[in-house]
Amino acid sequence: MSVSSAQPEMTQSETSQSEITQAEIAAEQARVSTLYDRLDHLRRQAEEQLASTIRAATSDTDQGVRERQHFAERLAQRAAALTAAERGLVIGRLDTDTGDRLYLGRIGMADDDAEPMLIDWRAPVAAAFYRATPAERLGIRRRRHLHLRQREVIGIDDDVLDFTAVDGDGQLAGEAALLNALRQARTGRMADIVATIQAEQDKIIRSGLSGILVVEGGPGTGKTVVALHRAAYLLYTHRDRLADKGILVIGPNRTFLRYVEQVLPGLGETDVVLGSIGDLYPPLRTAAVDPPATAMIKGDPRMVDLVAAAIVDHQRYPEDGLTVRVGDEEHSLDADFCRTLRDRARERAAQLQLPHNRVRPFVVERLLDELVGRELDRLEKMIDEVDVPELIEGEEDLDLRGFLDPKGMRANLAQSEAFSRAADLIWPELTPEGLLTELYTDADFRNRVATGLTPAERDSLTRPEPVEEPWTISDVPLLDELAELLGPAQELLDREAAEQRRAQAQRDSESLELDLAAAEAAELALEYADEDHGEILIEGSEVLSRYYDEGIIEPLADRARRDREWAYGHVIVDEAQELSPMAWRMLARRCPTGSMTAVGDLAQAAAPDSPQSWAAALDPVAAGRWRREALTVSYRSTGPILEYANGILAAAGSDATAPRAARPDGDEPWTSTATDLVRELPERLAGERDLIGEGNVAVITTPDRVDDCLALARSAFPEAASFADEDFLEAPVAVLTPEQSKGLEFDSVIIVAPDEIRAAGPRGHADLYVAATRPTRRLGLLQLP
Ligand SMILES: Nc1ncnc2c1ncn2[C@@H]1O[C@H](COP(=O)(O)OP(=O)(O)OP(=O)(O)O)[C@@H](O)[C@H]1O
């Protein structure tokens, strides 16, 4: 049974509102005010502690400085989390059978005697807030949602759970609060759902850390938002295991990542890197895509053998042997010698599991041994033949061997370009970029190494020259695979070592300046903290950036982002149905513990080679280590919209069905045939904007029609934006393709040329299904004659 206080925009429940008195709101206000006072106190304390830690970080040992920086970073995060908790600090209250009243919030707080005042939503006891139903009360008599506007209590929703006659089947927890949240106009940014998490979602959020958890569910079931809350939960519950490693969240593109980027900082969590597959080979960041047929081959598991073969192909030997000048003399090494050396190097690589470039020093040393040895033999022989007394009068005892300098000879030879070229003929230093370029541009090389591909498949790898942006998203897993097999090139290692020496020297000379900057930043932060007090709501991440901008603390996320080999504690993959087998392999390398959450919907998959099942996607990288959970209720779209979407699946003969709607009622989708799109689209857009009021409208159409539709939309709404525009997410009218609309949502959607979307390729119906499930309130189909 649900009871609501008098909020004009909320559903009126069947029970009389008068039961909730103003006195009760006043009592909650008193409690909430006390909790905000405590928040202010703790925040001030954290900022002061942080400021003094930073101030103290002078003239210490390296180890001491590092430890203090680490401590300062933790304190900065705590300050950020306390700041982020300002908005909607208290979520609600649980009244238990034993008479306790537990207040739940975005953050846990205790009083000076360590007595809990507010329980973090992620704490084990808070689970009952999300899971208790009248049928399964979990010791809870009443669940109360508190609605706050800034620090003021403006409403209360009560779920009375000990009302035994209520049937709990399909019960939505905190229904009034939930429906209120779902009816809100969209802002273009995903909001957190801490106050209204549903039981099936809570189970997923709190699922254990190990293995891969696959969360499947139809559009709008909360897969993305649940995955993000799971990240916050895991960082809270397994802080010891995740704190120094962080969590990687992979999304389909940058716009999507911008759409969700505020959720975790808003929950007080900053040790998270958001990126897409194109960002995982730093410093490269690419959003370029290949034609589908090429992307398919580049993502194919056969590429594993192909890239390995590309390396082996370079481990050659010159069939005529090789000749190298040492000093004044040329020495020849025959083919047998070269082949044996190459074979021994391969054996060494296999035995010691060394990447290719790490074996080059072995080859170089053996070549030097041989060449210097031969030259010494030659010189010694010459010395034996020379009659010294005859040569230099009075130096009868002189031994010319003493003038030989094998070390110097070796060093000179090692540095000579001719020697490097000779070593390259047997074991060249290779880079991932060089090797892939060769593969895409040299047909002979490709034919030698791509024996597992058909001629047409090989051709699809050809890259036209010259190229503006050489690397695509599908190249990134290949570059990464090659980087693993090759290891860093010596040149790169030397550069890195030099860089480190330079950085250390700079640190030493600048430490005084940094200390001064630190002290200033600390003072500044305290001043800000005073100003922010309650009134100005700032993001938690801003608190951190004050320190980061000064270079005093480097956030974990920044360190992780620029390190290709960073080992994350957990990886979350959104739109997981779109990942290629090669991309899965790369992600598995990023997460040695194998702890991942993959969320997706096979029915929404766009690629023709998308996996038929989760087993097909995951068994190759994690056989026996993945489990599955499902979400069944759509919180985005209304019943009539989902019914239309179901029709799309049924017409395509798909087994999948759209999820059940949390809001069964709503406007019926409209259909119209536009004989004059130039007139009709702007008119329809204006009509939708009037109907929805605050929110946003999207036009979704085929890639070919996007430009025309954008021009038409702009004729009525100059602020209309395309997917590439910076302000796309904030725009009141957006124009995009089904592919680009993945993961996003809008209050109203007009699909232009739905039949063309459906007819475009074997997965056209999936694109239409994605487009039709973007709206929260209204859907229109504008057919073209
Ligand atoms: N428990 C909840 N309370 C309030 N809002 C919710 C809840 N669960 C989901 N939502 C909202 O429903 C919408 C859809 O969620 P989300 O984008 O995570 O779904 P999805 O399953 O990832 O969808 P898609 O497959 O289409 O990308 C979001 O606006 C989200 O905030």
> Residues annotated as binding site?
217-224
Q: Are residues 576 and 436 in the same domain?
A: no
- Residue 634 Cα to ligand 1 midpoint, Å, equals 7
515 with 592, same domain?
no
pLDDT in tens, 258-281: 999 989 988 989 899 999 999 999
Q: Are residues 646 and 688 in the same domain?
A: no
The pLDDT, as a whole number, for residue 781 is 98
Closest CA to 292 of 623, 698, 717, 606: 606
**pLDDT band at residue 480 under the 50/70/90 scheme:** very high
Let me know whether 440 and 463 are in one domain: yes
**Residue 703 confidence (pLDDT):** 95
Give, to the nearest 10 degrees, the angle between helix 356-385 and helix 335-352. Answer: 140
d(CA 343, CA 366): 13
Claim to verify: residue 589 and residue 625 sit in the same structural domain: yes
If one residue of 193, 229, 578 were mutated to test the ligand 1 pocket, choosing by the most ligand atoms within 8 A of its CB, it would be 193
The answer to whether position 457 is within a domain reads yes
Helix or strand or coil: residue 229? helix
The rounded Å distance from CA 221 to ligand 1 centre is 5
Lowest mean pLDDT, pick from 400-404, 522-526, 692-696: 522-526
Parallel, antiparallel, or unpaired: how do β-strands 140-149 and 90-96 relate?
antiparallel
Q: Is residue 390 part of a domain?
A: no
d(CA 740, CA 762): 18
Is the peptide bond prior to 466 cis by the omega test (within 30 degrees of 0)? yes
Q: Which atom of ligand 1 is nearest to the CA of 191?
A: 31
Query: What does the pLDDT look like over 369-418, one tens digit per residue?
Result: 999 999 888 888 887 776 656 656 666 666 667 777 888 889 989 988 99
Kindly state the percentage of the chain with pLDDT values over 70.
Answer: 85
Pairing of strands 596-600, 626-631: unpaired
Rounded-to-integer distance, Cα 688 and Cα 706, Å: 19
CB 255, CB 729: distance < 8 Å: yes
Bridge partners of residue 670, in order along the sequence: 780
Chain position carrying tokens 């074997």: 762
657 falls within a domain: no
Residues 6 or more apart from 680 whose CB is under 8 A from it? 672, 674, 782
Choice between 62 and 379, residue whose per-residue pLDDT is larger: 379
Rounded to the nearest 10 degrees, what angle do helices 432-441 and 475-486 cross at? 130
367 and 425 in a single domain? The answer is yes
Tell me if the bond preceding 555 is cis, omega within 30° of 0: no
Q: Is the CB of 251 under 6 A from ligand 1?
A: no
The whole-number pLDDT of residue 548 equals 63
- Give domain status of residue 759, yes or no: yes
* Any ligand 1 atom below 6 A from CB of 224: yes
Average pLDDT, stretch 293-301?
Answer: 95
Tell me if ipTM is over 0.95: yes
CA–CA dist 669, 218 (Å, integer):
19
Mutate to test the pocket of ligand 1, among 635, 700, 773 (most ligand atoms within 8 A of CB): 635
- DSSP annotation of 278 reads G
Which residue has the least CA distance to atom 30 on ligand 1? 222
Question: Looking at residue 169, what DSSP letter applies?
Answer: T
Q: Which residue's CA is the closest to the ligand 1 atom numbered 9?
A: 222
C-alpha 37/C-alpha 46 separation (Å) is: 14
What the block records as the tokens of 160 is: 């009375």
Spatial contact of 259 and 569, defined as CB atoms under 8 Å apart? no
The end-to-end CA distance of the chain, in Å, is 51
**pLDDT tens digits for range 237-266:** 999 899 889 999 999 999 999 999 989 988
Structure-model confidence comparison of residues 605 and 679, the more confident one: 679
Question: Does a structural domain hold residue 7?
Answer: no
Residue 8 lies in a domain: no
Domain match, 684 and 738 both: yes
Q: What is the pLDDT of residue 533?
A: 43
Q: Are residues 194 and 248 in the same domain?
A: yes
Specify the pLDDT at position 236. 94
Q: What's the CA gap between 130 and 119, in Å, rounded? A: 14
Whole-number pLDDT of residue 537:
38
CB 423 within 8 A of CB 363: yes
Residues tagged in the binding site annotation for ATP: 217-224
The residue from 447, 482, 517 where one domain ends is 482
Residue 13 pLDDT > 50: no
Q: What is the pTM of this model?
A: 0.87
Instruction: Confirm whether 5 is domain-assigned.
Output: no
Token reading at 500: 């480190």
Closest CA relative to residue 144, chosen from 323, 329, 260, 1? 1
The CATH code of the domain that includes 741 is 3.40.50.300
Residue 445 — pLDDT band, cuts 50, 70, 90?
very high
Average pLDDT over residues 333-351: 95
Last residue of a domain, one of 118, 149, 179: 179
599, pLDDT greater than 50: yes
Indicate whether 468 and 606 sit together in one domain. no
Distance from C-alpha of 87 to C-alpha of 184, rounded to nearest angstrom:
17
Q: Which of 224, 263, 602 gets mutated to test ligand 1 (max ligand atoms within 8 A of its CB)?
A: 224
Tell me: pLDDT of 177 over 80: no
Q: Is 217 in the pocket of ligand 1 (CB under 6 A)?
A: yes
Enter the tokens of residue 429: 């230093």
Domain assignment of residue 600, given as a range: 185-280+533-652
Domain boundary among 532, 560, 590: 532
CB 645 less than 6 A from any atom of ligand 1: no
Do residues 73 and 164 both lie within one domain? yes
d(CA 479, CA 640): 46
Tell how far the Cα of 331 is from the centroid of ligand 1, in angstroms.
Answer: 72
Q: What is the pLDDT of residue 751?
A: 98
| Total of domains in the chain | 5
DSSP letter, residue 481: H
Q: Give me the pLDDT at residue 732, please.
A: 93
In a domain, 493, yes or no: yes
**CA–CA distance, 106 with 39 (Å, rounded to integer):** 11
Q: For a substitution probing ligand 1, which of 225, 228, 641 has the most ligand atoms within 8 Å of its CB?
A: 225
Of 74-88, 521-535, 542-556, the least confident: 521-535
Q: Are residues 377 and 457 in the same domain?
A: yes
How far apart (Å, rounded) are the C-alpha atoms in residues 303 and 611? 17
356 and 475 inside one domain: yes
Of 324 and 174, the structure prediction assigns the larger pLDDT to: 324
Q: Which residue's CA is minimally distant from atom 15 of ligand 1?
A: 222
Residue with CA closest to ligand 1 atom 6: 635
